[in-house]
Amino acid sequence: PLVHLPLLDVQGGTNLIPVAARAWSVSPDQRTLTFHLRPGLKFSSGRTVVASDYVYSIERVVNPKTGSMFGSYVKTIRGAAAFIDGRTNRLAGLSAPTPDFFVVELEQPDPTIPYVLASAPGIALPREEIERGEAAFGMRPVGSGQFVVARWTRGKEVVFQPNPEYSGPAPRYLDAVEVLIGGDDT
């Protein structure tokens, strides 16, 4: 993950390992997932990542107003239907009892949810940065991953430089990443 660290990652096709979480577990009835967050994880802004950032991020994914393509993947979270229908302003199955402890409760067992949390729905987003302006956040996202967007020229390139606040589990091997976009007529 360049800009964002997900709670989990998938290795070897199906093996889930903790990334932003230092540990995680599933209850015997397969309806409650608990995540203990890695200490010291920070956004590129310097703010510490806390469990409520995951609550905010997943509620954003489920909220039909954001139009997230991942919204349907997390509909088994307890209270998702009421949240989507606007009958409540929070997703009942998400909680952050402490800054480093995040809980996901499901309506019924769903073996895909841990894998979903290894992708975009499982990243922490800083509410204050998004509320400053989603367009700006889209071009200069603030994440807890190894890199930050240094330059983005639409249709041409995206250049990533090291995130000075990165403290995730994997070492950084590259000094920069350049992604060339598009091509010529040939």
What pTM was estimated for this model as a whole? 0.92
Q: Give bridge partners of residue 21 from the DSSP assignment.
A: 37
What are the mean pLDDT values of the chain's consecutive 10-residue runs (186 residues total)? 92 93 97 97 97 97 91 94 93 98 97 95 95 80 95 90 93 91 69
pLDDT of residue 93: 98
- pLDDT (0 to 100) of residue 154: 85
Which residues does 44 contact at the CB level (< 8 Å), separation at least 6? 3, 142, 143, 144, 148, 163, 164, 165, 166
pLDDT at residue 184, rounded to an integer: 62
